[in-house]
Amino acid sequence: MANIAVFGIGYVGVVSAACLARDGHRVIAVDVDPTKVAAINAGLSPIVEPGVSEIIAECVAEGRLTATTDAEHAIRETDASFVCVGTPSAPDGSISLEYVKDACRAIGSAIAAKGGYHSVILRSTIVPGTMEETCIPVLETASGRKAGTDFGVGYYPEFLRESTAVADYRDPGLIVFGALDDMTARLLTDLNGGIDCKIHVTDLRTAEMVKYTSNAWRAVKVSFANEIGNIAKSAGLDGQQVLSILTSDLKVSMSPWFMRPGFAFGGSCLPKDVRALRAFAATRRTETPLLDAVLVANAEQIARAEAMVRDAGARRVGLIGISFKPGTDDMRESPLAELASRLIGQGVAVKVWDPYVQEACDADLTSTGRGNDWGIDLKETLVPSLDDLIEGTDILLVGNRYEDAVTRLTALNGDRTVIDLARIDPKRRSGGSYHGICW
Ligand SMILES: NC(=O)c1ccc[n+]([C@@H]2O[C@H](COP(=O)([O-])OP(=O)(O)OC[C@H]3O[C@@H](n4cnc5c(N)ncnc54)[C@H](O)[C@@H]3O)[C@@H](O)[C@H]2O)c1
């Protein structure tokens, strides 16, 4: 069993720390936010993600998982660090490496004070060349040591999907890493030993590029499916049926994930990573017409939903789900939050029912409302029950699909206008008071 420090207790770091500790490793989670550190040490999860709270409570009680703001302590007590800090978009769309550089500086100084061997493994999403051009130089300067010989270095991207992150940890679709040294490569191979998935070992830059390729491909798939859905609907066809037939061809075509016509993509990864890949390509004078179009197409899908609400003449809208996808409280770049904000800006009264965002608000987590850059007053818009939502509004807008809401909407039996961006019923098509975005 290994001793591992996890830097950054966000969505990726919490899941990594919890699952590593559950597998029997000794884990020290490190964050600059003392409230997140205190939450872990109290046996509580700083994020809302199915299955994580239980694992954290158990591993903290059994002493395998602790948290600290003290990087030097964490490095001294462990053999390797996983760096899972955020890499948000800079104003020009390129990737911001401030948190990565800060974490590398802290780890480098701690390695200088430690003496023994330590592997530094980045898990944050970073454009190709970042390990060699930024992380390694910062680590070497801060530690006064040589990467690959005096300390280990690896890049091991994370592919988890929020809301199914714990299941994805045990059953991933892809494992890839690059490492400068044998010790780091062996550690990452051993950590993935019990998992039924091929391990791709490659160079650092290729591993960095695979991560962006994966997220760019997910984004392309969403927009491609939406465009087909829009065209299909204009021809009187069901877009989901068209793509469900296409994606049944798993041999020659592709897997069906993300190939489901519906609403725009969002979240903390796809928009940011498509922007960053375009910015990266621009520095190499490489044109990216498809990626440019993907972002335009995604914005169009939000405008399309906005027009559907406008055409229905809605003045009081009840939005079901506002996080970027169902099953998480994460609102970063949520297209539903953007849609709500636009409607509010046009004088429409918007109320929101979202069980996960509500849970985060009730628990007053430090990440509550994360990504609410549209300035929506969550306290003002959130309603605790579906009854309140249905009674207080005249049009129901389905952003995320939740089983409770499906039951209630079905029981309304056409009495209320429903605009569906998430498809409450695969058999239902637009007609009467029901309007599906792509079907
Ligand atoms: N969210 C996802 O689904 C997902 C999936 C795969 C990869 N990623 C990538 O993983 C990275 C992390 O994403 P996230 O969603 O977990 O981010 P997040 O913003 O939720 O969490 C980052 C954490 O890092 C902490 N932090 C910042 N500077 C620090 C420092 N110097 N030392 C210690 N902690 C520090 C922050 O306080 C925060 O708690 C990003 O690069 C992201 O693109 C995210």
What does the pLDDT read at residue 256? 63
Q: Identify which of 31, 40, 52 to mutate to test ligand 1's pocket (most ligand atoms within 8 A of the CB).
A: 31
Q: pLDDT tens across 194-210, in order?
A: 899 999 999 999 999 99
183 shares its domain with 322 = no
127 shares its domain with 217 = no
Ligand 1 atom closest to 125 (CA): 41
- How far does residue 296's CA lie from ligand 1's centre (Å)? 27
220 shares its domain with 198 = no
**pLDDT higher at 174 or 115:** 174
Q: Is residue 161 pLDDT above 90, yes or no?
A: no
Among 202, 224, 253, residue at a domain's last position:
202
Q: Is 130 in the pocket of ligand 1 (CB under 6 A)?
A: no
Q: Residue 435: pLDDT band by 50, 70, 90 thresholds?
A: very high
Average pLDDT over residues 302-318: 95
- How far does residue 273's CA lie from ligand 1's centre (Å)? 14
What does the pLDDT read at residue 369? 67
Residue 366 in domain? yes
Q: pLDDT tens across 396-421, in order?
A: 999 999 999 999 999 988 889 999 99
Q: Please count the structural domains in the chain.
A: 2
State the CATH number of the domain containing residue 326. 3.40.50.720
Q: Residue 156: pLDDT band by 50, 70, 90 thresholds?
A: very high
Q: Is 87 in the pocket of ligand 1 (CB under 6 A)?
A: yes
Q: Is 333 in the pocket of ligand 1 (CB under 6 A)?
A: no
192 shares its domain with 259 = no
Ligand 1 atom closest to 11 (CA): 16
133 shares its domain with 11 = yes
Ligand 1 atom closest to 269 (CA): 43
Ligand 1 atom closest to 9 (CA): 39
Q: Is 132 in the pocket of ligand 1 (CB under 6 A)?
A: no
Residue 79 in domain? yes
Q: pLDDT tens across 282-297, in order?
A: 888 877 777 789 899 9
Q: Is 424 in the pocket of ligand 1 (CB under 6 A)?
A: no
% of residues, the chain, pLDDT over 70: 98
- How far does residue 332's CA lie from ligand 1's centre (Å)? 12
Active site residues: 269
197 shares its domain with 235 = no
Among 148, 183, 202, residue at a domain's last position:
202
Q: Identify which of 99, 109, 164, 274 to mutate to test ligand 1's pocket (most ligand atoms within 8 A of the CB).
A: 99
Q: pLDDT tens across 367-378, in order?
A: 766 767 777 887
Residue 207 in domain? no
254 shares its domain with 390 = yes
Residue 208 in domain? no
Show the domain range for 348. 213-436
Q: Is 162 in the pocket of ligand 1 (CB under 6 A)?
A: yes
Residue-averaged pLDDT of the chain: 92
Q: Is 212 in the pocket of ligand 1 (CB under 6 A)?
A: no
60 shares its domain with 93 = yes
223 shares its domain with 185 = no
Q: Residue 94: pLDDT band by 50, 70, 90 thresholds?
A: very high
What does the pLDDT read at residue 229? 79
- Tell me if 309 sits within 8 A of 395, measured CB to CB: yes
Nearest CA to ligand 1 atom 33: 31
Residue 88 in domain? yes
250 shares its domain with 113 = no
Residue 350 in domain? yes
Q: Which among 134-148, 239-253, 288-302 has the top mean pLDDT? A: 134-148
Q: pLDDT tens across 214-241, in order?
A: 999 888 888 878 777 777 887 888 989 9
Residue 387 in domain? yes
Ligand 1 atom closest to 367 (CA): 20
Q: Is residue 252 pLDDT above 60, yes or no?
A: no
Q: Is 7 in the pocket of ligand 1 (CB under 6 A)?
A: yes
3 state SS for the chain: CCEEEEECCCHHHHHHHHHHHHCCCEEEEECCCHHHHHHHHCCCCCCCCCCHHHHHHHHHHCCCEEEECCHHHHHHCCCEEEECCCCCECCCCCECCHHHHHHHHHHHHHHHHHCCCCEEEECCCCCCCHHHHHHHHHHHHHHCCCECCCEEEEECCCCCCCCCHHHHHHCCCCEEEEECCHHHHHHHHHHCCCCCCCEEEECHHHHHHHHHHHHHHHHHHHHHHHHHHHHHHHCCCCHHHHHHHHCCCCCCCCCCCCCCCCCCCCCCCHHHHHHHHHHHHHHCCCCCHHHHHHHHHHHHHHHHHHHHHHHCCCCEEEEECCCCCCCCCCCCCCHHHHHHHHHHHCCCEEEEECHHHHHHHHHCCCCCCCCCCCCCCHHHHECCCHHHHHHHCCEEEECCCCHHHHHHHHHHCCCCEEEECCCCCCCCCCECCEEECCC
Q: Is residue 176 pLDDT above 80, yes or no?
A: yes
Residue 197 in domain? yes
177 shares its domain with 28 = yes
Q: Is 268 in the pocket of ligand 1 (CB under 6 A)?
A: yes
Q: Residue 141: pLDDT band by 50, 70, 90 thresholds?
A: very high
Among 202, 229, 261, residue at a domain's last position:
202
160 shares its domain with 254 = no
